[in-house]
Amino acid sequence: MALSAAEVLAGLAEIVTDETGIATDVIALDKSFTDDLDIDSISMMTIVVNAEDKFNVKIPDEEVKNLLTVGDAVNYITKAQG
């Protein structure tokens, strides 16, 4: 059973908080991973791998660079659950 976008956001926010310590309520759809949340490429790859595990999806490396905002990632994961 696929999760809703809101559920994906909540799950992704947990992963980001766990990796970075950023408060979960700051992690909103319009936030940029690099500009707003100051997440570097190493943390981003850790978040991606943890998200793959949590949501049982594949996020190819070449796709990661297109995930500029939290919303981009939530959309990608929501669709990829298929």
Partner 1 sequence: MFKKVVVTGIGATTPLGGDSKSTWENLLAGKSGISTLTQEWVTKHELPVTFAGQAKTPATEVLTLQEAKRLDPSSQFALIAAREAWADAGSPEVNPERLAVDYATGIGGVWTLLDAYDVLKERGPRRVLPMTVPMLMPNGPAAAIGMDISARAGVRTAVSACASGTEAIANAFNRIRNGEVDVVVAGGSEAAIHPLPIAAFAAMQALSKRNDAPEKASRPYDIDRDGFVMGEGGGALVLENEEHALARGAKIYAEVVGAAVTSDAYHITAPDPEGSAAARAMIGAIEQSGSSIYDVVHINAHATSTPVGDIAEYNALKRVFGDHLSKIAVSATKSSTGHLLGGAGAIEAIFTVLALHERTAPPTINLDNPDPAIELDVVTSPRELEGSNILAITNSFGFGGHNAVVAFRSTN
What is the closest distance, in whole angstroms, from the C-beta atom of residue 49 to partner 1 in the complex?
A: 6
Is 40 assigned a catalytic role?
yes
**CB 70 within 8 Å of CB 31:** yes
Is 32 a binding residue for partner 1 by CB under 8 A? The answer is no
Counting Cα atoms < 13 Å in the Cβ hemisphere of 7 gives 9
Does 42 bind partner 1 (CB under 8 A)? Our answer is yes
| Site membership for partner 1, residue 62 (CB under 8 A) | no
Rounded to the nearest whole angstrom, what is the least distance from the CB of residue 4 to partner 1 in the complex?
Answer: 26
Given the complex with partner 1, which of 52 and 72 has the nearer CB atom?
Answer: 52
Q: What is the DSSP string of 1-51?
A: -PPPHHHHHHHHHHHHHHHH---GGG--TT-BTTTTT---HHHHHHHHHHH
Kindly list the residues in this chain that would bind partner 1 in the complex (CB under 8 A): 18-21, 41-42, 45-46, 49, 52-53
